[in-house]
Amino acid sequence: MAETAMRNAGLSKQRRPSGRASGPAPGPRADEPLDRAVWRLRSRACWHDAAELLAPAATTDPAAALHRTAVLVEQCLYTADGWEPAEDALRAAEALAAGDEERGAAACERGHLAYAATLLGVRDRADEARSALGRAAALLPPGSPTRPLLDFRRGLIAQHLSDNPSDATAAFERAHAGAAAHGHRLLLSATWRHLAAMAEHDGRQEQARHGFAESLRIREELGYLVGIAPALASLAAVTEEEAEAGRLREEARRLVRVLGGVPTWLAEQLSASGAPAAG
């Protein structure tokens, strides 16, 4: 599986990414060369390089500024580093935002950055995360394409910060339906993953295995290399056959090594044979 994903992403097993290594930022758009280039870089954990490609347009284009913010926030979540550039990019995106849709999307990113800082123990910004996502909910109309991502991130708050499994599951289910309706495949892989985590929490192992397998399948099809190791490790945690679980964990370790130790939290957990908690 890992080798296939590397080929799909265009990254050989020997080559490490050259750049500085959620919920998910937007996935690739086949009709936009810049977006395709950004996608190829961020899928290999080259977030700094991806952000640099977006930088010229991000000075005047609200959508590019928001995309750049999402890329840098993703770097924070995977590496527990890069907080200041992400905060700077977010403030710039907020300054450019005009209209409820753009302001709501920027508030959604602020909530996610605050969530990431809280989850990873950098600083307790849980109140800020909840407030920002609440502001986003007030600004974004029901049919907004950003709504599924907002629902997903509210589910993360309920799951990891509020310890409220029922609210988390309901939010993930709304996000899952919205991601499917809008064709947001990377977000769909994340909703499969977190719905599976809730199923595992409830002891529904078969549903958990199915959800984790679907999340892995989508990430492999997209070539989202940096997200494949967490998906492999999650599937390994609910795989009954120990030999197969060991093979999945070894694939995850190999991918983490290829990406230079990213995700950092997963590198630590795999070395301690722990189960993944984020990503």
HSE (side-chain half, CA atoms, 13 Å) at 48? 11
Q: Taking CA 259 as the corner, what is the angle to CA 257 and CA 265, rounded to the nearest 5 degrees?
A: 75
- State the pLDDT at residue 20: 22
Q: Residue 15 pLDDT more than 60? A: no
The model's pTM is 0.87
Predicted confidence band of residue 17 (pLDDT cuts 50, 70, 90): very low
- State the pLDDT at residue 270: 86
pLDDT tens figures, 122-173: 999 999 999 999 999 999 998 999 999 999 999 999 999 999 999 999 999 9
Q: Residue 13 pLDDT more than 60? A: no
Q: Residue 260 pLDDT more than 80? A: yes
For the chain, domains (ranges, CATH) are 2-12+21-271 (1.25.40.10)
Q: Residue 6 pLDDT more than 60? A: no
Task: Establish whether the linkage from the previous residue to 263 is cis, with ω within 30° of 0.
Answer: yes
- State the pLDDT at residue 29: 54
C-alpha distances in angstroms, 222 versus 32, 132, 149? 16, 30, 18
- State the pLDDT at residue 274: 45
> Per-residue b/e over 204-236, b at no fewer than 16 CB within 10 Å?
eeebbbbbbbbbbebbbebbbbbbbbbbbbbbb
- State the pLDDT at residue 276: 46
Mean pLDDT for the chain overall: 89
Which element (helix H / strand E) includes 168?
helix 165-182
Predicted confidence band of residue 269 (pLDDT cuts 50, 70, 90): confident
Which of the two residues, 5 and 58, has the higher pLDDT score?
Answer: 58
- State the pLDDT at residue 24: 55
- State the pLDDT at residue 25: 55
Q: Residue 19 pLDDT more than 70? A: no
- State the pLDDT at residue 3: 42
Q: 10 Å Cβ neighbour count for 101?
A: 16
Tokens of 61: 């284009």
pLDDT tens figures, 195-250: 999 999 999 999 999 999 999 999 999 999 999 999 999 999 999 999 999 999 99
Q: Residue 258 pLDDT more than 60? A: yes
Q: Per-residue pLDDT averaged across 88-108, rounded?
A: 98
Q: Per-residue pLDDT averaged across 47-51, rounded?
A: 98
